[in-house]
């Protein structure tokens, strides 16, 4: 787990590999520790409204949150919240002209202004982790193609909005409805390419805490994170949290759109890189994860002195049950910080009475109240999705 750590190597353009050919400019790089590389990523250019972010791609933007940000608090600041767009993102929103259409299997198709969406029901706040399905893909061993994220395609925010079911009620869900599909203002650059459409089962759409959200930590959503509205599905991967929401469509059958039927799919049983064709289904809920944020891989710690480690954890689609320090003979339970709800980051902390030597391969293991526990070994899959293997680092006693 090297995220957020500036490489100890020479960090000037040209020293870091082919990606940086061209004029030699001083730039800060981060080493994400991706097996076999390329592993260095720039922290620039800076994006509007964003602080220092790991720039995976400028166009369409893929911006990763440095791991050190998660050491600062339970809510990720909006200017450090990760960013992921499939198609070129719209850079302008005309608020007065923006509409959210509600159609498909409904009693009376609706076209709602932003004020009408806000007025659709009771205002609701939920603290929830937003995590890309591919978070940590770049750490897959065997490697897989796609956005080569470290572990920072995740963030936790307080979301404010109205219930999706109240927005649906403006149109009236018709009998036979099975799924609810979302689209945003982002559209493909080329004719015939698949739009980014995502759908959830009707019973999920009707949940108490599934929102059409406009607030992120009491601020409007940043444009990069989906202004003016995005879907929030606590416990489910971010792929369903459609940004710049413009279309809600009620479906009476399965969703055969590309990003449901072909993309974002996971095997129904364990696979290896050598497995042939296997049954794949859409990814849905998140498993538990935990990270050490107080120290990075390779850090020095004082021999003979007590050592306090801290970090974050989350339960995925259920609250955390426990977090344990594991490895290097130091196994022990961690103390949990304040509980901001089942879908939020939760702080943990643990103190070793004395460092007696190097702490090789220590990690933290989260378990949720449904009994899901982080595994010792990566549940490898061809899309590099839903990584939740125990993340380990080595600390050097000195």
Partner 1 sequence: MKHAPLLAIIALALAGCGRGSEVTFADAAITLPEDSLDLPQAPGRDAVLANCTACHSPSMMLQQPKLARDKWAGIVTKMREVYKAPVDEAAVPEILDYLVAVQAQAEEPAAREGA
Which residues within the stretch 314-333 sit at the binding site for partner 1 (CB under 8 A)?
Answer: none
Choice between 104 and 226, CB closer to partner 1: 226
Q: State the nearest-atom distance from the C-beta of 60 to partner 1, in Å.
A: 7
Burial 307-345 (b: 16+ CB within 10 A, else e): bebbbbbbbbbbbbbbbbbbbbeeeeebeebeebebbbb
Q: Is 272 one of the binding residues for partner 1 (CB under 8 A)?
A: no
Stretch that binds partner 1, among 17-25, 271-279, 326-334, 354-362 (CB under 8 A): 17-25
As measured in angstroms, the least distance from the Cβ of 31 to partner 1 is 10
CB of residue 151 vs partner 1: minimum separation in angstroms?
Answer: 16
The rounded distance, in Å, linking the Cα atoms of 368 and 84 is 27
Which 209-248 positions form the footprint of partner 1 (CB under 8 A)? 209, 214-215, 220, 223-224, 227-228
Distance of closest approach, residue 222 Cβ to partner 1, in angstroms = 9
Q: What is the DSSP string of 39-53?
A: -EEE--SPPTT--S-
Extract the tokens encoding 255. Answer: 């969703």
Helix (H) or strand (E) holding 169: helix 164-169
Could you say which residues in the range 82-101 bind partner 1, by CB under 8 A? 88-89, 91-96, 98
Candidates 37, 103, 109, 298; binder of partner 1 (CB under 8 A) is 37
Does 256 contact partner 1 by CB under 8 A? no
**According to the binding rule CB under 8 A, does residue 201 interact with partner 1?**
no
Which segment (197-205, 235-243, 265-273, 334-342) binds partner 1 by CB under 8 A? 334-342
User: Cβ–Cβ contacts within 10 Å for residue 182, how many?
Assistant: 25
DSSP 66: -
Tell which positions 120-179 bind partner 1, by CB under 8 A. 121-127, 138, 143-145, 147-148, 158, 160
Residues pairing with 57 in the sheet:
62
What are the angstrom distances between the C-alpha of 320 and each of 86, 221, 232, 350, 365? 31, 27, 20, 16, 11
Minimum distance from residue 303 beta carbon to partner 1 (Å): 25
**Residues 258/126/312/317 CA torsion (nearest 10 deg):** -50
Cα separation, 308 vs 270, in Å, equals: 36
Report the residue from 17, 176, 329, 333 that binds partner 1 according to the rule CB under 8 A: 17
């Amino acid at each position: 787990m090297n995220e957020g750590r500036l490489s100890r190597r020479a960090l000037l353009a040209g020293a870091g590999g082919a990606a940086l050919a061209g004029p030699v400019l001083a730039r800060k790089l981060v080493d994400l520790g991706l097996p076999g590389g390329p592993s260095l990523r720039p922290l620039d250019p800076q994006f509007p409204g964003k602080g220092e972010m790991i720039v995976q791609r400028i166009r369409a933007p893929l911006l990763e949150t440095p791991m050190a940000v998660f050491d600062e608090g339970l809510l990720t600041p909006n200017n450090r919240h990760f960013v992921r767009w499939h198609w070129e993102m719209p850079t302008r929103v005309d608020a007065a002209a923006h509409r959210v259409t509600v159609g498909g299997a409904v009693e009376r198709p609706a076209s709602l202004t932003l004020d009408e969406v806000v007025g659709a029901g009771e205002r609701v706040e939920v603290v929830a982790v937003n995590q890309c399905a591919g978070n940590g893909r770049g750490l897959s061993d065997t490697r897989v193609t796609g956005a080569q994220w470290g572990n920072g395609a995740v963030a936790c925010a307080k979301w404010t909005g109205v219930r999706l079911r109240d927005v649906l009620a403006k149109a009236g869900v018709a009998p036979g409805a099975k799924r609810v599909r979302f689209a945003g203002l982002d559209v493909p650059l080329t004719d015939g390419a698949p739009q980014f459409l995502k759908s959830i089962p009707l019973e999920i759409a009707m949940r108490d805490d599934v929102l059409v959200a406009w607030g992120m930590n009491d601020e409007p959503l940043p444009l990069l994170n989906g202004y003016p509205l995005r879907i929030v599905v606590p416990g489910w991967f971010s792929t369903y949290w459609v940004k710049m929401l413009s279309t809600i469509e009620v479906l009476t059958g399965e969703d055969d759109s590309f990003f449901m039927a072909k993309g974002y799919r996971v095997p129904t049983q364990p696979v290896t890189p050598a497995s042939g064709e296997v049954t794949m289904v859409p990814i849905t809920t998140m498993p538990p994860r935990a990270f050490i944020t107080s120290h990075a891989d390779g850090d020095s710690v004082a021999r003979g002195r007590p050592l306090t480690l801290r970090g974050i954890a989350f339960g995925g689609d259920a609250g955390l049950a426990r977090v344990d320090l594991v490895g290097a003979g130091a196994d022990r339970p961690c103390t949990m910080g304040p509980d901001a709800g089942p879908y939020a980051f939760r702080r943990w902390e643990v103190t070793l009475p004395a460092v007696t030597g190097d702490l090789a391969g220590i990690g933290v293991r989260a378990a949720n109240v449904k009994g899901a526990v982080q595994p010792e070994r990566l549940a490898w899959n061809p899309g590099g999705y839903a990584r939740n293997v125990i993340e380990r680092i080595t600390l050097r006693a000195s």
